A and B are shown apart, each in its own frame.
Chain A
Amino acid sequence: EPEVTQTPSHQVTQMGQEVILRCVPISNHLYFYWYRQILGQKVEFLVSFYNNEISEKSEIFDDQFSVERPDGSNFTLKIRSTKLEDSAMYFCASIFRSSYNSPLHFGNGTRLTVT
């Protein structure tokens, strides 16, 4: 079964550094998402992306965050200047189409540790 692939599985970075988290969504999917889960807290929506633009973003997704689909397969999340509170599991997800019959397919996540 096709999978959403995320790399790296674990990223350690120093506060203030830029980090790029990478995702390869399922190949025929058209809608892409980033979620995150801070340890012990809920899974939270960050952003949705369709047709090369952001569809919706949460209040968490401020100017320090950006997303890009640089080619036909990758979907990236960039954090420009990481803060300690950015430490979390970041999950990429995708769906083929926007309908209630298309539940999100999540990747296994990237654990980001900001020191």
Chain B
Amino acid sequence: DQQVKQNSPSLSVQEGRISILNCDYTNSMFDYFLWYKKYPAEGPTFLISISSIKDKNEDGRFTVFLNKSAKHLSLHIVPSQPGDSAVYFCAASADNRGSTLGRLYFGRGTQLTVWP
């Protein structure tokens, strides 16, 4: 099952710079996309989402961009902080004619390290 792919297992960025995490998907039925952050020994924590009717959503230092034609989304974190060091998961969902949102398809995650 490779419907959501995060091809970079790790990313290292200096504090204050921009972090760009990428995600690709193959299922054209996906219409809702989320980013989750995960620290060791904790569950995934919701970060930001975007609906397929938009191409950008911003929340503070976090911005998600969606390119539907390329089936690609990215998460930008600017400026990056050491506390942002975590595993970032991209996830996607398809609207099953109004049935329960909850079946998310996750990527393998990207380990972000922000160094001082």
Chain A interfacial positions (CB closer than 8 Å to B): 4, 6, 31, 33, 35, 41-45, 48, 50, 55-56, 58, 91, 93, 95, 98-100, 102-109
Known: A6-B43, A41-B108, A43-B106. 8 other contacts (CB 8 A): A42-B106, A43-B91, A48-B102, A55-B99, A98-B99, A98-B100, A100-B51, A100-B101
Residue in A33, A50, A103 whose beta carbon sits within 8 Å of that of B46 in the complex: A103
* Number of A-B residue pairs at CB separation under 8 A: 70
In the complex the two chains form, what is the Cα distance from A56 to B8 in whole Å?
A: 31
How far does the Cβ of B22 sit from chain A's closest Cβ, in whole Å?
16
B100→A55 contact, CB < 8 A:
yes
How far does the Cβ of B77 sit from chain A's closest Cβ, in whole Å?
18
A100→B49 contact, CB < 8 A:
yes
Give the residues in chain B near A102, CB-CB below 8 Å: 101
Count B interface residues, CB 8 Å.
26
In the complex the two chains form, what is the Cα distance from A73 to B40 in whole Å?
A: 27
In the complex the two chains form, what is the Cα distance from A104 to B109 in whole Å?
A: 17
Chain B interfacial positions (CB closer than 8 Å to A): 1, 4, 32, 34, 36, 41-46, 49, 51, 89, 91, 99-109
4 closest residue pairs by CB, A with B: A106-B43, A103-B46, A43-B106, A48-B102
Give the residues in chain A near B107, CB-CB below 8 Å: 42
Instruction: Using A108-B43, A109-B43 as known contacts, say yes or no to A95 and B104 having CB atoms under 8 A apart.
Output: no
Give the residues in chain B near A108, CB-CB below 8 Å: 41-43
How far does the Cβ of B7 sit from chain A's closest Cβ, in whole Å?
13
Give the residues in chain B near A109, CB-CB below 8 Å: 42-43
